Amino acid sequence: RKKWNRIVGVLMELEEGCGTEIGRLRQVVDAMAVEMHAGLASEGGSKLKMLLTYIHTLPDGFDLDCCVGFTLFLFLILIGNYGNDIRNADLYSILIDMSEEGVYYSLDLGGTNFRVLRVHLGGQMSMILNKKVERQPIPRELMTGTSEELFDFIALTLKQLVESESSEFEFRLDERMVLGVTFSFPVKQASASSGTLIKWTKGFDIEDMVGKDVAESLQHALINRGLNMRVAALVNDTVGTLALGHYDDEDTVAAVIIGTGTNACYVERIDAIIKCQGLLTNSEEWYLLSPCIVHLIIEYIMGFEKMISGMYLGDIVRRVLLRMSLESDIFGDATARLSVPFALRTPLMVAMHEDETSDLREVGRILKEVFQISDVPLKVRKLVVRACDVITRRAARLAAAGIVGILKKIGRDGSGGIASGRPKSGGESTIKMKRSVVAVEGGLYSNYTMFRDYLHEAVSDILGEEIAPYVVLKESEDGSGIGAALLAASYSSVR
């Protein structure tokens, strides 16, 4: 009985420590917005890394007429304000290119899976006519080998994709192909198509690559494999997801990834990016007219990523089970096995959480499979499920606060009262809001229903019932890769 009380005590302590009542979440929202301000003010001004992507234009599936109209409008402003700037021509071709038919390739490297994609754009509305996505796991040895080996593997996989379609797309083979690269590690961008690796994350560790230009290394590997392909866009997965989100729905203002890791990006007014003002040369002044996508790395802030993302959730639950084991002997002699870091992978933790059998059979099976613990009484299995629930709920609610934090920063959370339009239902309120779409992608979000439900519920709770209908979270699939192909199409004429 005493032991049982101690285990229940562990759970109660956990619940208390993981409390995310609404007031606390609102504090996280505020802290997030404040840190974002600080991160934009100066380099190193915040623990939150705010990386500029140099992406200033997002695909939106305009038809040709719209493009020309839009371009001419901008063109006039540019001439009027800044004189004849070479970049006007770039801008013109960016928009025209989006409506051209073509086949674009992209690759998506950034976690457990590696993807190569082919996207066929065309038709009156520059629609995605068809797409092909091939996924495969990254061989573990390549994650810690040399950059040459990794990039050669990537180039080879791409080559196989291109060659498998040579009959269908023969016309492309002797032309230079265009590649968009999604590279989901911290990168210091030098332009929309180049940047140096700051550090590896998510189990990758290839020392010779840190500080080197990712696009250049890849370009090298492509040439070595005889691929006539140019890297036209180098982006983070969040930016790819934002690009596809915006292509599908122009109200998309931010993108969030919740997979192995978690991070986000959003569209910022360029004049709010104080730290880059001094860096602008005259020829770049037109950027002042356009927004800039800012990529946030939340890993560094408030332990955020470690409490939210798929890489860690299973392990947090393992630690709780270990603690329960140390407090009593409910798990027999399994303490040593429970002490092995990352022994419980997140998908298995999720399977325990989602076990709907009346006797929690699945929980029993997984505890046996992973930790060789057998015959766990039902009441203890129930505690295990409760532990999964507490950890997941906290993760989802913190992720929700992060998303609302971004919306707050850009005045889309209702607190700033950005004018434009009213909800259909009307009402007496004076708050005027714009519809804001956040594209969300990642294995944790898309596979884990309970996580997603908790997240949605918390976003609504934080925003309140009046504002919540204006904020739409849209699940995105393969957006990071397809979006990179769209951006490659947009930027293919910018050198």
Does residue 364 belong to the site contacting ligand ADP (CB under 6 A)? no
CA terminus-to-terminus distance, the chain:
72
Does residue 185 belong to the site contacting ligand ADP (CB under 6 A)? no
Does residue 335 belong to the site contacting ligand ADP (CB under 6 A)? no
Q: Give the interface segment with ligand ADP, choosing from 122-130, 284-292, 345-353, 464-472 (CB under 6 A).
A: 345-353
R_g of the chain computed on alpha carbons: 24
The binder of ligand ADP chosen from 113, 196, 328, 335 (CB under 6 A): 113
Q: How many residues bind ligand ADP (CB under 6 A)?
A: 16
Euclidean distance between CA atoms 419 and 417, whole angstroms: 6
The binder of ligand ADP chosen from 7, 214, 298, 350 (CB under 6 A): 350
Q: β-strand 49-52 against 291-297: which pairing, if any?
A: antiparallel
Does residue 346 belong to the site contacting ligand ADP (CB under 6 A)? yes
Q: Give the interface segment with ligand ADP, choosing from 21-29, 60-68, 109-117, 470-478 (CB under 6 A).
A: 109-117
The binder of ligand ADP chosen from 93, 196, 415, 447 (CB under 6 A): 447
Q: What beta strand segments (E) does 192-317 contain?
A: 194-197, 229-235, 252-258, 262-269, 291-297
Alpha helices (H) in 182-309, listed in sequence order: 214-224, 237-248, 274-277, 304-308
Of 487, 492, 493, 481, which Cα lies nearest the Cα of 441?
A: 481
Q: Give the interface segment with ligand ADP, choosing from 5-13, 175-183, 344-352, 403-411 (CB under 6 A).
A: 344-352
Question: Phi first, then psi: what are they for 122, rounded to 5°?
Answer: 170, -170
Buried b (16+ CB within 10 A) or exposed e, 262-290: bbbbbbbebeebeebeeeeeeeeebbeee
Q: How many CA atoms lie within 13 A of 416 on its CB side?
A: 16
Q: Give the interface segment with ligand ADP, choosing from 228-236, 293-301, 411-419, 437-445 (CB under 6 A).
A: 437-445
The binder of ligand ADP chosen from 4, 15, 47, 112 (CB under 6 A): 112
Place of tokens 């639950």: 317
The interface with ligand ADP within residues 258-317 (CB under 6 A) comprises 259-260, 310-311
- Adjacency order of strands within the sheet including 177-183: 127-137, 113-122, 102-109, 177-183, 229-235
Helix or strand (DSSP H, E) at 49: strand 49-52
Does residue 443 belong to the site contacting ligand ADP (CB under 6 A)? yes
Nearer to ligand ADP, 94 or 311 (CB): 311
Does residue 107 belong to the site contacting ligand ADP (CB under 6 A)? no
Nearer to ligand ADP, 444 or 489 (CB): 444
Please report how close the Cβ of residue 107 comes to ligand ADP at its closest, in angstroms: 12
The residue ranges that bind ligand ADP (CB under 6 A) are 110-113, 259-260, 310-311, 346-347, 350, 442-444, 447-448
